[in-house]
């Protein structure tokens, strides 16, 4: 029997996060967004609630939950604001998860407890200025010298890399050459404040304005040899697996934004009048909202399925790509339609749909563009090698 009802534990978590999002995030986040200011107090509260530790064992300060719990949390946060949601998503799935999946016991004990508590944030240094979607085109290098890795290069668009509470940045770097001539790419943990690591000025962004995003420069940056994360030469493969999981999380975040658009439109059309009638009485508006709900519903089912396969330990690469593609499309389409329904008010930053519109586009780009998702789906179907 197929049953899509959530367990009581999941429903309780959803309700708790929903209440937090509406009562503590929604009233203030617009001001942070317009000031392009990182919301430290909101992040602190999320840490106290255990949200940063959701999918990690209690032995490392986590909540002993699973990845689906994280996805539900991201959906509920993004119904109100995506800057807060992406801070959590990147902090958990990109910052802490590589450490948990591939770190030594000593590395986990050293860094995971603070990351799980939300008192510290980790960042994922993969993308480079000339690389973009081609993550294998890594140019950053790391060479061993006297028991230390000496890192040189740069990274772009790195979330949570420049906050006051950022503790580590895990960076991919070329550490040699494989027998077949390909680059040997490894992952190395670089603590914040390490000499030679420079956090570039924050980007001026279209959206996600209350989240933290910087470029990074490594100039003879030295860290101990034991800061290697996982096996030498397996850094690229490790991060590809992390990205598969992250795509499910981004799909959940995208569904939250899409649902937030529906929520705001339902409130608005019940109040706004035009030509003597509530605009919700007009079929053109009804059809737009029906389409928005349809997109949200189907995208949610897609990420539910991907998460279920992941938790069962089954291969889920295709399902993750489908979920990310469907959900990011739904978010972008719903944001556009919501802005249209709000008319001129939708173009004003005082209304959430204006913020949703600005935030939606990056969901079709980050953690693998829509084109990359189509490539992955086709490859999994056997269309291409």
Task: Please give the helix or strand (H or E) that residue 345 lies within, else none.
Answer: none
What 3-state DSSP class applies to 365?
A: coil
189 beta partners: 170
| CB neighbour list of residue 312: distance below 8 Å, 6 or more residues apart | none
β-pairing, 213-224 vs 148-159, is antiparallel
**Active site (annotated) includes residue 314:** no
177 exposed, middle or buried (CB, 10 Å; 0-12, 13-18, 19+)?
exposed
- 201: which DSSP letter? P
* Of the candidates 85, 131, 88, the residue with the CA atom closest to the CA atom of residue 359: 85
158 beta partners: 214
| CB neighbour list of residue 45: distance below 8 Å, 6 or more residues apart | 20, 24
**Distance between CA 294 and CA 329 in Å, rounded?**
12
**Distance between CA 319 and CA 337 in Å, rounded?**
26
What 3-state DSSP class applies to 205?
A: coil
CB contact at 8 A, 125 and 155: yes
Q: For residue 352, what are its two tokens? A: 């959430």
335 beta partners: none
| Active-site pick, 114, 128, 264, 367 | 367
Q: Which residues are catalytic?
A: 367
């Amino acid at each position: 029997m197929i049953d899509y009802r959530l367990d009581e534990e999941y429903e309780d978590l959803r309700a708790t996060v929903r209440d937090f999002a509406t009562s503590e995030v929604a009233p203030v986040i617009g001001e942070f967004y317009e000031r392009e200011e990182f919301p430290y107090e909101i992040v602190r509260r999320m840490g106290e609630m255990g949200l940063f530790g959701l999918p990690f064992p209690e032995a490392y300060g986590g909540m002993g939950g699973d990845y689906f719990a994280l996805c539900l949390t991201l959906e509920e946060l993004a119904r109100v604001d995506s800057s807060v949601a992406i801070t959590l998503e990147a902090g958990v799935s990109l910052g802490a998860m590589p450490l948990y999946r591939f770190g030594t016991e000593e590395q986990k004990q050293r860094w995971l407890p603070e990351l799980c508590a939300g008192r510290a944030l980790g960042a994922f240094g993969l993308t480079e200025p000339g690389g973009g979607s081609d993550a294998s085109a890594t140019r950053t290098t790391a060479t061993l010298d006297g028991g230390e890795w000496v890192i040189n290069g740069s990274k772009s668009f790195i979330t949570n890399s420049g906050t006051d509470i950022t503790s580590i940045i895990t960076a991919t770097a070329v550490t040699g050459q494989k027998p077949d001539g390909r680059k040997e790419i490894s992952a190395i943990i670089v603590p914040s404040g390490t000499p030679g690591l420079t956090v570039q000025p924050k980007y001026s962004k279209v959206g996600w304005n209350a989240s933290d995003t910087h470029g990074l420069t490594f100039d003879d940056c030295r860290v101990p040899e034991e800061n290697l994360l996982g096996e030498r030469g397996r850094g690229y493969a490790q991060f590809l697996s992390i990205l598969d999981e992250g795509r499910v999380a981004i799909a959940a975040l995208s569904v939250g934004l899409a649902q937030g658009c529906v929520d705001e439109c339902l409130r608005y059309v019940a109040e706004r009048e035009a030509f003597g009638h509530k605009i919700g009485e007009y079929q053109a508006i009804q059809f737009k909202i029906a389409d928005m709900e349809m997109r949200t519903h189907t995208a949610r089912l897609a990420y539910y399925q991907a998460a279920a396969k992941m938790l069962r330990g089954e291969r889920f690469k295709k399902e993750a790509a489908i979920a990310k593609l469907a959900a990011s499309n739904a978010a972008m389409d719903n944001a556009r339609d919501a802005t249209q329904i709000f008319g001129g008010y939708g173009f004003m930053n005082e209304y959430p749909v204006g913020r949703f519109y600005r935030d939606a586009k990056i969901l079709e780009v980050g953690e693998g563009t829509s084109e990359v998702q189509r490539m992955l789906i086709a490859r999994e179907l056997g269309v291409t090698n």
